[in-house]
Amino acid sequence: MSLVSIDPATGRRLKSYDVFTPRQIESSLARAQSAFLGWRELSPAGRARHLRALTRTLRAQAGDLASLAAAEMGKPVAQGRAEIAKSALTCEFYAKHGGSWLADERPPGAPSQARVAFEPLGVVLAIMPWNFPFWQVVRAAAPILMAGNTLVLKHASNVTGCALALQDLFTEAGFPRGVMQTLLITSKQVSALIADERVRGVTLTGSTAAGKSVAALAGEAMKPGVFELGGSDPYLVLADADLDHAAEICAQARLFNSGQSCVCGKRFIVVESVRRDFEKKLVARLSARPVGHPEDPTTAVGPLARADLRRDLQAQVTASVRRGARVLLGGKIPSGEGFYYPPSVLTNVRRGMPAYDEELFGPVAAIISVRDEEQAVAVANDSIYGLGAGIFTRDRRRGRELAGRIESGQVFINEAVRSDPTLPFGGVKQSGYGRELALWGLRAFVNTKTIWVR
């Protein structure tokens, strides 16, 4: 069996890779466990030095890494470079702050003879998606390794080249052998890994279906997990919103990573009194975004990552139109090679349509009309997902009040939702549980131990 990389801009095969044998998997786990025994004894300052070296390595190779992501999953190179820059910034952030967050603490009000220590767990399995092939891994690996754990990576099969490049990056940055390893395995081989006693935790970013399956395995094995899953982020455009600003931010959000992001605007919930104006402005901005080859630096929207993803997206659009949605822009697969899909806008979207009920993983905006802000909040929460949300209003105080009523892991007011290494990131409901990044990400895979000395 092999893992295959396909160029989404042409549909042609790039390379195939042999899947690891059971013996190779065993060797990798043994190395990870052995490396943990030494890595956990290294001081936080020592681990931070390795992260700073990784920061330099990422920045030095940003161009080559961006081209690799463009080739394997179609990310426009400008966005690929930004992904590498964010990855480097995250390593730098944990190198700076990780040591203080791992120091023993005496909680307020606790007895003077008591302290709380934060100790690493061991080997952590990271199961990562293709849409941000470097950032998703680094944002998990940086805090996991800084905490003193080691990591084995099961990456998405279509970005195997990126997965191997990541392992090389850690090696070039001087990390000890076995601290971070890429496993070339299939999804069917994951259950045995989770059951292995050497694996002490699991982190997964991916679909809700994948998350449920892996979370069940982790639960059965009594192992902690962090799960960042699907999202159908609502962006609320209220009657007093600056429509030019709202349309620009919503266009950026919907086309981020060619629309292939869990945390980007998908459902645009617009108060009816401003709906028509907002639709015109959004269509104008989406139609102006250049669609093209991901290696072209002017490209804003590249191809979707796989042929099946484009087929699924078109099926969702077609089903929504059959149930009463109206196409304002795009909505059809173009001719020619590659897996391109045009920026698209659907309006008259209502409950019972895929564009309302499901996640649209591609550059399709769904506009939902509501009477007022009260109905806007109700519609925003009428979803199985709860990852991110946006609110557009000139009344920032009112926006803050409404943010407290929206069921999601993060709400941005007059801005696009995004992750930041200084802030916790994650969702509620079917968007998962646990938090990545900031202090919360660092302590996701530690033993929080009370120590009492008489």
Each of the 454 residues of the chain gets a pLDDT tens digit; together they read 899 999 999 999 999 999 999 999 999 999 999 999 999 999 999 999 999 999 999 999 999 999 999 999 999 999 999 999 999 999 999 999 999 999 999 999 999 999 999 999 999 999 999 999 999 999 999 999 999 999 999 999 999 999 999 999 999 999 999 999 999 999 999 999 999 999 999 999 999 999 999 999 999 999 999 999 999 999 999 999 999 999 999 999 999 999 999 999 999 999 999 999 999 999 999 999 999 999 999 999 999 999 999 999 999 999 999 999 999 999 999 999 999 999 999 999 999 999 999 999 999 999 999 999 999 999 999 999 999 999 999 999 999 999 999 999 999 999 999 999 999 999 999 999 999 999 999 999 999 999 999 9
Out of 228, 359, 373, 407, the active site residue is 228
Interstrand relation of 265-271 and 410-413 (parallel, antiparallel or unpaired): unpaired
Residue 250 bears catalytic tag = no
Residue type, 400: R
The C-alpha atoms of residue 388 and residue 235 are separated, in whole angstroms, by 9
Burial (Cβ within 10 Å: 0-12, 13-18, ≥19) of residue 447: middle
> What CATH number belongs to 2-229+429-452?
3.40.605.10
* C-beta of residue 71 within 8 angstroms of C-beta of residue 14: yes
> What CATH number belongs to 233-413?
3.40.309.10
Identical fold, 2-229+429-452 and 233-413: no
* C-beta of residue 345 within 8 angstroms of C-beta of residue 327: yes
Out of 91, 162, 262, 264, the active site residue is 262
The domain segmentation of the chain, as residue ranges, is: 2-229+429-452, 233-413
Residue 248 bears catalytic tag = no
Q: How far is CA 230 from CA 29, 311, 392, 427, in A?
A: 29, 18, 23, 9
